[in-house]
Amino acid sequence: MPGISQSLTLIAIPESLAPVTDFVRIGAREANLPELHMSQLDLVIEEILVNVWRYSYPEGAPGTVVITYSVPRPQEMEVEVADQGIEFDPLTADPPDLTPDLSRRPAGGLGIFLLKSFASSLNYRRQQGWNRLSFGISANS
C-alpha cells in the first residue's frame, strides 16, 4: 500500500516507547523488513524518542509526539517523528569522539550518532512550530 501513511499521537514520555515500537513494527512487517533492519528501525525510533522526551519539552510538562510511517516499496520504510518542543536539529550535532580509552570515554552522547549510522536517509525541518525529523530504513541500500 504505497503512499498510504499511518499515524500515531502519544505523549512524549518513556512509557510511550513500547507502543511506538509496536506501531512502527506494523509497517515493518508490511514492508517485509528483515529481522536485522527491524531492530535498526527500533533503535532509530528509540534514539529519536529519547531526545524528544529529554530535550524537546520542559521536565514535568511533556507534550505530544506524532509518529507517521509509510511503506514506499517492499523492504523500505519511511518514518517521521514530529514534536512541538524547542527547535532542535539533530543533524547539526557534532560527531562524538570515538577514540578515547575507557577512563576518558564519556558514557553518553552516542544516540544521534547511532541514528545517523542506521538510517538510510535522514531529514530535519522546522515547520510552524514543529520539529519534523524523517528517516528511512531500507534493506535495499
Partner 1 sequence: MNALLVGLTITAENPIFRTQEVYRKSVAIIDVRRGLRHPRDTMTIDCSEIGGKVVLHVVGRMDAENAVQFERQCDSCISEGTTSLIVDLGDLSYVSSMGLRSFVGIAQKLKNKGGELRICCLTGLVRQVFEITRLNHVFPMYESVESASLGG
Check binding of 46 to partner 1 (CB under 8 A). yes
- Number of residues lying near partner 1 (CB under 8 A): 44
Other CB atoms closer than 10 Å to residue 58's CB: what's the count? Answer: 10
Q: Which amino acid type is present at position 131?
A: N
3-state helix, strand, coil in the chain (%, to 5): 40, 25, 35
Distance CA(43)–CA(87), nearest Å, equals 22
Given 55, 91, 105, 126, the residue binding partner 1 (CB under 8 A): 105
Given 32, 73, 74, 117, the residue binding partner 1 (CB under 8 A): 117
Given 72, 91, 110, 126, the residue binding partner 1 (CB under 8 A): 110
| H or E segment to which residue 19 belongs | helix 17-30
Tally of residues, the chain = 141
* Residues 47-86, interacting with partner 1 (CB under 8 A): 47, 49-50, 62, 64
| H or E segment to which residue 37 belongs | helix 35-51
Given 2, 95, 106, 129, the residue binding partner 1 (CB under 8 A): 106
Chain residues that interact with partner 1, rule: CB under 8 A? 6-11, 13-19, 21-23, 25-26, 35-36, 39-40, 42-43, 46-47, 49-50, 62, 64, 98-99, 101-103, 105-108, 110-111, 113-114, 117
